[in-house]
């Protein structure tokens, strides 16, 4: 047990002299601030003490007490305070009572007359278990929160055995990237309260994410009113376009009446090819973003920027991969921003089998 950790213990017993004995036996730990004791005469009073003192980690309780006995108290405590651990301290040391107490949630059993050296070791052992349990629950909670803000690929990457060593390592991957932008949203954000705009934006993002995930894509990041999605694995260009068409269909069905009949529309840019995947950011600041970068990604963003509402613009590379499955019309050679050579651009109409 670390000195910096203070153990909070509730003693539940109707013996008049027990509080005096406990305070005397644990005097040094109490004075050093390592242990703090609370006392109750029966189970009902103990439940009241627990409700007012959330810091209590361990409960020492007798079995035979008035008002509410120890076994009934154990049952009630386990329902309300499942993390707290109880140690039975009783003269009833037969196996029947021990098994009954354990089945009702007791963590350990100490018999009377109390060997305080043994009791101290039992408290330390129980506290170590409580701390470990708290750490596990904290990790689960943090992991669930992390999943809300970090892409699943990053979570899986973090679980790898070489995570720390490969934190700044990047890799080349063949994938399809898709930028989805909500048209005219900047003007809407200037006219309405931020809370209203954010709530509506999140609702639209939910629609996009559903179609992307259903086609085995993952969200790389949200950027204002734009989403960057990445598709890897088998037939990734086809899955990306399928998701894009589904997103367009979903948005075409929306008639938004919350903002003066504002009807949301989307503009999409899709490109495929080799790109770099890795952690980008500042190692000294300990702020990194696991993302995709490269010319393929830049072109997809520029295709989205020139796309009109409800258009899905793709590159020649995407078209060559999907032309047997998707109906596309050639837009022609287009000069994309900061590109020396013009790019051949296609507008996706729909799936051929539709």
Residue 81 sits in a domain whose CATH number is 3.40.50.2300
State which of 149, 165, 194 marks the end of a domain.
149
Looking at residue 202, what is its pLDDT? Answer: 85
In a domain, 24, yes or no: yes
Looking at residue 43, what is its pLDDT? Answer: 87
Quote the CA–CA distance of 134 and 352 in Å, as a whole number. Answer: 55
Give me the residues of the chain with pLDDT under 50, please.
1-4, 146, 149, 154, 157-158, 161-167
Residues 86 and 14 in one domain: yes
Looking at residue 94, what is its pLDDT? Answer: 62
Residues 165 and 145 in one domain: no
Looking at residue 194, what is its pLDDT? Answer: 78
Burial 299-333 (b: 16+ CB within 10 A, else e): bbbbbbebbeeebbbbbebbbebbeeebebeebee
Residues 223 and 330 in one domain: yes
In a domain, 1, yes or no: no
Give the number of residues written for the chain.
354
- Put simply, whether the predicted model's pTM sits higher than 0.85 gets the answer no
Total structural domains in the chain?
2
Residues 292 and 237 in one domain: yes
């Amino acid at each position: 047990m670390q000195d910096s950790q203070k153990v909070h213990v509730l003693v539940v017993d109707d013996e008049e002299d027990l509080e005096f004995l406990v305070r005397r036996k644990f005097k040094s730990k109490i004075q050093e601030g390592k242990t703090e004791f609370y006392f109750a005469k029966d189970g009902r009073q103990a439940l009241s003490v627990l409700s007012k003192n959330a810091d209590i980690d361990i409960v020492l309780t007798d079995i035979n007490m008035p008002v509410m006995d120890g076994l009934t108290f154990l049952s009630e405590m386990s329902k309300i305070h499942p993390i707290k651990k109880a140690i039975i301290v009783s003269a009833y040391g037969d196996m029947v009572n021990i098994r009954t107490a354990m089945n009702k949630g007791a963590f350990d059993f100490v018999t009377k007359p109390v060997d305080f050296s043994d009791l101290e070791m039992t408290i330390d052992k129980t506290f170590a278990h409580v701390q470990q349990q708290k750490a596990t629950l904290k990790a689960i909670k943090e992991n669930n929160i992390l999943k809300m803000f970090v892409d699943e690929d990053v979570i899986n990457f973090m679980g790898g055995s070489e995570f720390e060593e490969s934190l700044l390592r990047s890799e080349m991957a063949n994938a399809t990237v898709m930028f989805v932008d909500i048209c005219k949203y900047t003007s809407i954000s200037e006219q309405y309260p931020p809370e209203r705009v954010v709530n509506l934006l999140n609702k639209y993002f939910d629609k996009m994410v559903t179609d992307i995930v259903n086609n085995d894509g993952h969200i790389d990041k949200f950027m204002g009113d734009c989403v960057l999605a990445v598709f890897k694995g088998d037939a990734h260009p086809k899955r990306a376009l399928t998701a894009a068409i589904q997103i367009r269909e979903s948005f075409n069905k929306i008639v938004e009446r919350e903002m003066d009949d504002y009807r949301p529309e989307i503009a999409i840019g899709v490109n495929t090819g080799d790109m770099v995947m890795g952690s980008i950011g500042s190692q000294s600041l300990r702020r990194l973003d696991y993302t995709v970068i490269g010319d393929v990604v830049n072109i997809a963003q520029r295709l989205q920027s020139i796309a009109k509402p409800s258009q899905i613009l793709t590159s020649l590379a995407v078209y060559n991969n999907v032309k047997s499955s998707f109906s596309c019309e050639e837009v022609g050679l287009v000069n994309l921003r900061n590109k020396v050579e013009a790019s051949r651009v296609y507008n996706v109409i729909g799936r051929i089998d539709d």
